[in-house]
Every structure is written in structure tokens, then in C-alpha cells.
Homo-oligomer: A and B are copies of this chain.
């Protein structure tokens, strides 16, 4: 345990949870991670006294999260019984609200997806419409999985806005004010009766990659998603780095371009998002069609009255120079921004996701080349940059992981374990 650094000339161990809370969570974590599989193991590995161990295990077994199995067989004497974590003790609802669709899923406490669905939906400033659609989708996926609502231990929601994690407030951009004021946590806690956490969608994808993707076991990594916008999630020293207000990872808004013609959704100009997102590429494709710089896109525009992102990708595949340059340049802009992230954070891995990164075969190569060109050699020496093979499930996995992490954190676990289920906290209005 590296000591943290914030008490005068002397480092502190933080404002600690109570010893009760801390040891409860620690014992659960040791069993869950199979670092201790018997009662003597738990005592030995933790250093806790026998009384403490017995008491904590008792609470966890009562809550159904740990079960004591068969007696093991050892050379001499009666073997201790094996302890194991019960991922089916509760279920988690996970949801991702995106600009063009909603994805929902049901998982166990290990994050294994039991059922999921995706629903088309155009997000508008009218928050109630989106929430109603989401409610319906959640009901449907529970029904798909044959699970009653009262077995839900918690819900995790990803939204395409920065989220002040502590207060669960989404920080909406200009023109989306209704979202800003909306209390998402309150709505879902009231409707579902289970504790709810909300975070930025890309943070949750990063978390999903850290748990179930290429980033497993990597302490310092970043996830970057390029879709209609561009977002990032940063893991530092094995922990999601949310920053002081939960705004960390906003790679889509770092300034990479001089142009001031295109206002970003954030209200500023020059943002990566204004030159490397799907929306930016759609604008470029339209211009190439209108100016005649791409004859193939020009024809599409004449035929259909508009062009789509897939037309740009098709033109590029057919060798159209303008289309290829547009995709290459967007990859280079992304590379420039990632080089900056690499210079500042020096991750071991950068994972790319989202629809744009797959528009061209050369995309990844262009990103990599630009990062190598613009980041410090030391920081790129062992750097891997990959396209995430997990695809769209990352966000759900991350949302579930967020909820489980929170439910099993010392203070929270301590607050509900004696009540048998986290739902009791909502029921009693006692959520910490």
C-alpha cells in the first residue's frame, strides 16, 4: 500500500472509514479475489484478529454474498471449509443513454450480462421523453431475463454528458438545459427502489475495458471513443481518474485545430470533436460533394440530396483521394490529441472504440503514426494503441462494475449489510 500524500510534511492514509467498515470490505475483497479461501487464510492474509474475522464473515454470509462450502481435505485433521463469493446474490441493471439509441442490460455481481437490448431513440432536449423510453426498456430487459424488479440491487447509468460524480448531476451543454436540472438518481431510485449511480458514458466504457477487455491488469490506460462526439476515460494507477468534478477525460474538447468556424457543442472552438468526430466527417463529406472535390460523393449528393458517413467510407475504399484524405486527417487529429494524453499521462495502453474508428482500414495506422510523431519517445516506447474488440458491450459492463464497486465499498457495504439488501437503504431513505 503506497501511502497517499496530503497531511503536511507527513503523508496520511486518508480520512479513513471506520475500522468496522474497512475490515468488512477488505474481507469480502480477499474472498472475492480468491486471495483467501478459508477462515485461517483470511486471518493470515489480512492480519486481522480471529474475532474480527469471524464477525465480518458472519455478516457477509448472512447477506448471502459469501457461502461456506464443502470441507476441504487435507493430509492431517479436518480441513477448513472453502469460502466463496456468490455473484448471484443480487442483480444489477445497467443502461447507456446515447444520442441515437438506448442500451440496457441485467448483470450479476460479477458483471456477467444475463440479458440485454438496444432500442433506437433520438435524444432531444426533452428529457422526459428519453427517461420514459429508458424506463420501458429497463422493464423489458428485466422481463426478458425473467427477473423481478425487487431482486435488483442497484442501477448504473451512462449518459453522453460529463457527470459530477458525487452529486450525480449531469452537466449538460448549451441547448440541453433540461438535462442539467434533471435528477436522474432520484428518478431511478424512486422507480426501481434500488441505489443508482450515474457517470459519463465513456468513463463507464473505460471501466468496462479495465474489467473485461484488453485493459485487464493494466494500471495506466486510456479509452477513447469516436462517435458522433469524441470522449475519453482515464485509468491512473488502477483507478478510474474522474478528477475533482468528474470532468476528467474530456479529450474531445482539447484544442487541436486553429479553425474558429465551427462551434463545438461545448460552445468553444478548435475542439478535437469539431474535426475528428462522425459529425465533423459528415460535414466534410458534404463539402467534398458540394465542391466537386470528390466526384463520387458529388454524384451521391446529386442523387440523394445528401451524403452519409458510409458514403465517405465507400468512396475511400474505392480510392477517392479526397475521401481518403478526410479520414486520414481525422485520424491524425485524433492522434495529435492522443499524443497529448500520452505526454501527460504516459499510459501503457490506449484503446479506441466507436463507429468512426472502423470506417477505414488505415485509421488505426494513421492514429499510431501521429502519436509516434508527436509524443515523447520515452512515453511511446512500450505504448500499445488498439481498437477495442469488446465493441458495444463495454459500456454496460462498466456501468455494472461501477455499481458493484460502490455497493461493496467500505462505507456503503457497512451501511446495508445488516439489512440484507441495498434496496433497504432506498426504502428507508437512508442512502449514505
Residue positions of A touching B, CB distance < 8 A: 1-14, 16-17, 19, 22-23, 25-26, 29-30, 32-33, 35, 44-50, 52, 85, 99, 110-112, 122, 125, 162, 164, 171, 175-176, 207, 210-212, 216-220, 228-229, 232, 234-251, 253-255, 257-270, 273-275, 277-280, 282-288, 290-295, 302, 305-306, 321-322, 325-326, 329-330, 332-333, 336, 339-341, 343-348, 373-379, 381-383, 397, 401, 405, 408-410
Contact = CB atoms under 8 A, between A and B. Distances in A.
Contacts of A246: 346, 378
A243 B45 contact: no
Most chain B C-beta atoms within 10 Å of own C-beta, residue among A16, A25, A263, A348: A263
A362 to B, nearest CB: 15
Contacts of A30: 13
Given A2-B409, A29-B13, A401-B9, A254 B330 contact: no
B347 A244 contact: yes
Contacts of A277: 291
Contact of A261 (B238, B284, B291): B284
Contacts of A249: 344, 346
A326 B19 contact: no
Given A260-B325, A329-B260, A405 B210 contact: no
A253 B236 CA distance: 20
A263 to B, nearest CB: 4
A161 B180 CA distance: 44
Contacts of A326: 261-263
A369 to B, nearest CB: 14
10 contacts: A1-B1, A6-B217, A9-B110, A10-B32, A48-B49, A49-B52, A250-B343, A260-B329, A263-B325, A273-B291
B19 A47 contact: yes
Most chain B C-beta atoms within 10 Å of own C-beta, residue among A9, A52, A255, A339: A9
B255 A336 contact: yes
Contact of A345 (B9, B46, B344): B344
Contacts of A348: 244
A283 B46 CA distance: 60
Contact of A162 (B247, B260, B283, B378): B378
B293 A263 contact: yes
Contacts of A242: 346
A344 B344 contact: yes
B345 A248 contact: yes
Contact of A49 (B6, B50, B245, B255): B50
Given A13-B30, A49-B48, A244-B220, A211 B382 contact: no
Most chain B C-beta atoms within 10 Å of own C-beta, residue among A111, A171, A344: A344
A47 B49 contact: yes
B346 A382 contact: no
B238 A262 contact: no
Contacts of A220: 241, 243-244, 248
Nearest to A209: B5
Contact of A175 (B85, B207, B217, B292): B292
Contacts of A234: 344-345
A255 B339 contact: yes
A378 B219 CA distance: 26
A85 B377 CA distance: 43
A18 B52 CA distance: 19
Contacts of A35: 12-13, 16
A52 to B, nearest CB: 5
